[in-house]
Amino acid sequence: MSRSARLLKLIECLRAHRRPVAGATLARELGISLRSLYRDVATLQGEGVPIAGEAGVGYVLGPGLTLPPLNFDVDELDAVVLGLRFVEKRLPDGLGDDARRALAKIEAVLPKGRSATDVHLLVGAPAGESSAVLDKIREAIRKEDALEIAYRDKNGDASERTVWPIVVGFFDAAETVATWCEMRNDFRHFRLDRIGRIALAGRTMERRHRMLLADWRLYQESRDAG
């Protein structure tokens, strides 16, 4: 790998870390010595790249650096295109439109001779029918608002719930939202295609979303272990 390619790879590594990352970790990801890593960081800082931090403390890439997504390797491009095709296929409205636009933007900035159409990976997931419900859940998560839903379970029994949405999972059969259910005072999962009425409750969740997500992950881990 040339030094210029390595410097670009270093920037990409820093972009992948949202928090300060140790120099040893970066050196390991790049396959170089720690001394070389320090030199590369100093070179980039000297060129005006906004890298904050120092040896022994860690590094983080600050705002203000704009790089077009030109440098996907073959496997990275496969992964990105496959993911966008999944969204386009599963959610033809709403996020599906966003996926198509994102794919067009990536196509426009790829180097000459490369194309997203070269990715020969197809998605066979069925198209979802819950785009409006998903849009409302995403809005609630962004705003950290509670949701009121009318739900009908697999036996056809109806209930009204106030929930705090956490994350949406996409599975072969259906999309499912993980929530904290006020009625059950516990985590509950609901299929989007069984949700009838859905609306913002007009008040914020009683716990921050990031804390709910962390607790839900622990809950899932305990269930898997059991």
- CATH code of 23's domain: 1.10.10.10
Asked whether residue 67 is assigned to any structural domain, the reply reads no
39 plus 100 within the same structural domain: no
The residues facing 198 across adjacent strands are 149
Look at residue 17 in the predicted model and tell me its pLDDT: 80
Better-scored residue on pLDDT, 28 or 63: 28
Distances (CA, A) of 132 to 135, 136, 170: 5, 6, 15
Cα 90 to Cα 226: distance, rounded to the nearest angstrom: 32
Provide the whole-model pTM. 0.61
Asked whether residue 69 is assigned to any structural domain, the reply reads no
Asked whether residue 104 is assigned to any structural domain, the reply reads yes
Look at residue 72 in the predicted model and tell me its pLDDT: 74
140 plus 217 within the same structural domain: yes
Asked whether residue 147 is assigned to any structural domain, the reply reads yes
Per-residue confidence at 127, pLDDT binned at 50, 70, 90?
A: low
Distances (CA, A) of 59 to 26, 56, 80, 91, 97: 9, 9, 26, 38, 36
15 plus 88 within the same structural domain: no
Distances (CA, A) of 89 to 21, 105, 107, 124: 36, 18, 18, 8
Which tens digit of pLDDT belongs to each residue from 58-109? Answer: 899 887 766 555 567 778 888 888 889 888 887 777 788 888 888 887 887 7
Residue 96 lies in domain: 74-118
18-47 mean pLDDT: 90
111 plus 135 within the same structural domain: no
Look at residue 126 in the predicted model and tell me its pLDDT: 60
Residue 157 sits in a domain whose CATH number is: 2.30.30.520
Q: Indicate the number of domains in the chain.
A: 3
196-201 mean pLDDT: 95
**Does the structure show a pLDDT above 80 at 154?**
yes
55 plus 138 within the same structural domain: no
Residue type, 180: W
Lowest mean pLDDT among 102-106, 137-141, 144-148: 102-106
Better-scored residue on pLDDT, 115 or 158: 158
Look at residue 4 in the predicted model and tell me its pLDDT: 78
**Does the structure show a pLDDT above 70 at 38?**
yes
Better-scored residue on pLDDT, 127 or 81: 81
Look at residue 182 in the predicted model and tell me its pLDDT: 97
